Amino acid sequence: MNAFSLDAHAALVTGSSQGIGHAIALGLRDAGARVVFHGLSEKSAELGAALPADAPYLACDLLPATGPETLLAAAFAAEPALDTLVCNAGSFFDLPLLEMTRERWQKTLDLNVTATFFLVQGFVRRLAAAARPGCIVITSSTNGFQAEADSSAYDASKGALVMLTRSLAVSLAPLGIRVNGIAPGLIRTPLTHTWLETRADDLVKHYEKKILLGTVGTPADCAGAVVFLCSPAARYLTGEIIVIDGGLTIAQIGRM
């Protein structure tokens, strides 16, 4: 048996129309899993070209209270044998601290934390009813461990996901459901693109010195860790968070 094979497994990856989620979904498919893709927008010609032709794609807004259940119902209809959930959908809505609004604070927590919890709850209810073991991976961030200026809501939400991962691992172990997480560092995604490109001459160069491996990460750098966590090779892991940051958070100074 190939310990890293996901043959006979089926996964829903939220936020997989682009960026880290897209790379994760493709990585799971490469390992043999059947994958249901998800995004906020309806499928366009451009989006369709980026998705495997035979993969289901579901458009669903996770912010409304009904969003998680709506997505899960559609995902299980498309792939009844789902046993893997990757909670990757999330975003950044912060303004500078003194300009931050209650609306943006609540939107951050609703999408990044609350939607994740209720996706997991609905997913687990279905698996428990079928007496089916499973695997859950939650995307947090190095912001869950280290703070960033003008990022209070985002940092708080990612810190919450770190502890949510551990709490869920405790609660779901008796059901045979493992829960782990990843914490990406600085990754080139559509969310970070504008910020990185406008600061290529100073901020990016600073980060390239701070990151021990010398370069900003790509979404594909996150995929392997998730494939591992979902595979039989990680069958004895639960409650763990894998930091994927090229060594960004390890050294105090970085490279000179």
Question: Residues with catalytic annotation?
Answer: 154
Q: Which residues contact 221 (CB under 8 A, 6 or more apart)?
A: 184, 187, 244, 246
Query: For the chain, where are the alpha helices, taking DSSP H only?
Result: 19-30, 45-50, 67-78, 102-109, 115-129, 152-172, 190-198, 203-210, 220-230
Residue 38 in contact with residue 57, Cβ under 8 Å?
yes
Structure token digits, residue 194: 């504008």
Residue 82 in contact with residue 76, Cβ under 8 Å?
yes
Q: Which residues pair with 11 in a beta bridge?
A: 35, 84
